[in-house]
Chains A and B, each alone.
Chain A
């Protein structure tokens, strides 16, 4: 059981900044995110795109903003549960929240802050009629353990970086790979495209384009795939695994079933402190809604800041607290570091 003061669901910019604001109030945070890396949309969808409306940054790449936010909050030593989706939230007899992930990791805290952005990122699945039947029976959307594909026959579908990168990786590992894409052109880093072309010229990979997988066959697990080519040619190939790699798309997911008031696919909050209808559960950033809501990173920062003030009062109901400026009070990290403004040197001219 991971114990902390605030469980933050979602490690995007809002969640990361909440760690900093909580840290100023000496509250510890632990972040849970379905993606394997922090940054949320900023690292998953548009890391190389510039953002122009972060105060103080005339222009910053989304990926750099994530790096900076991680640097800013690292002194408060946040914990991370990455690559796992927050699945269930419940309260124990002491009124403490327990958040459990899809992999069974349990987290405990008196406060939960949902900073889930657009929801958790789930693999986009092609529309093949019997696809779900074969899930975990030869159909995988994310490659977790490449070893299982050694000396097997694998069909990969997709035309982006992950389809190309995994093709290269698996071929080099000794897997028989067939790559199917709906166009002749691939959308990936130039050197990945070149490498795959090289492998094709060496007959180390079968590439079928423009084509798509239309049917899977097999009694208890995937045994073959039917592929339709653009010229209406149909072919069937024997395979052990089918890996469709069509990217990820966000879904509200289990959060929608946590008894929170939902409006327009977002969580309704009180703008006093961004608390939901469940006391102790807050929603900040793109995932919440209230009159006048704007889905902007800078609004998420503001919401995170106010949320932390309320969280402090819930955790420390009898402790006196006064809001202070970092310029005046400095910042004491949980790692023993201290940042503070240099003291002005005052000297008399007569010395």
Chain B
């Protein structure tokens, strides 16, 4: 069994308990899109290059997540609605250590 459980609160405040595969080199943004938890075109707009902030999410569990790279840090420094626990979900790679991860999709920038 290579799936992990992740709890994702969408932009309508609805929480989804989903399974994400650890053997498909997926990132959290792709998992959110594959479950269609945000309307198409509103999340992961740049395709996962940390070049837009549309996939911003707040990590609400205490998991140890890899440190931010320069590109993610720079993008979040210009993003809106950021909090101390903001991350770009496209930069969080699904691995077994993230089992039980809880996160919330940040509001869409309008």
Chain A positions near chain B (C-beta within 8 angstroms): 41, 45-46, 49, 118-119, 124-127, 158-160, 181-183, 185, 187, 246-247, 249-250, 252, 264-266
Chain B positions near chain A (C-beta within 8 angstroms): 39-42, 45-46, 49, 51-52, 54, 74, 77-78, 80-81, 109-110
Contact A265 B77 (CB under 8 A): no
**Please, which residue of chain A has its CB at the minimum distance from the CB of B77?**
A183
Contact A246 B81 (CB under 8 A): no
Contact A249 B78 (CB under 8 A): no
Task: Please measure, in the bound complex, the distance between the C-alpha atom of A249 and the C-alpha atom of B52, giving whole angstroms.
Answer: 8
Contacts of B110 in A (CB 8 A): 125
Contact A158 B78 (CB under 8 A): yes
B61 to chain A, nearest CB (A): 26
Contact B78 A265 (CB under 8 A): no
Known: A126-B80, A249-B45. 9 other contacts (CB 8 A): A45-B49, A118-B45, A183-B77, A187-B74, A246-B78, A246-B80, A249-B109, A250-B45, A265-B40
Grouping DSSP codes into helix (H, G, I), strand (E, B) and loop, the B interface class, with mixed when no group exceeds half, is loop
> Which one of A45, A158, A264 contacts B41 once the chains associate, using CB atoms below 8 Å?
A264
Contact B39 A185 (CB under 8 A): no
Q: List 26 A-B pairs, Cβ < 8 Å.
A: A41-B46, A45-B46, A45-B49, A46-B46, A46-B51, A49-B49, A124-B80, A126-B80, A158-B78, A159-B74, A160-B74, A160-B78, A181-B77, A185-B77, A187-B78, A246-B80, A247-B78, A249-B45, A249-B109, A250-B45, A264-B40, A264-B41, A265-B39, A265-B41, A265-B42, A266-B41
Contact A264 B39 (CB under 8 A): yes
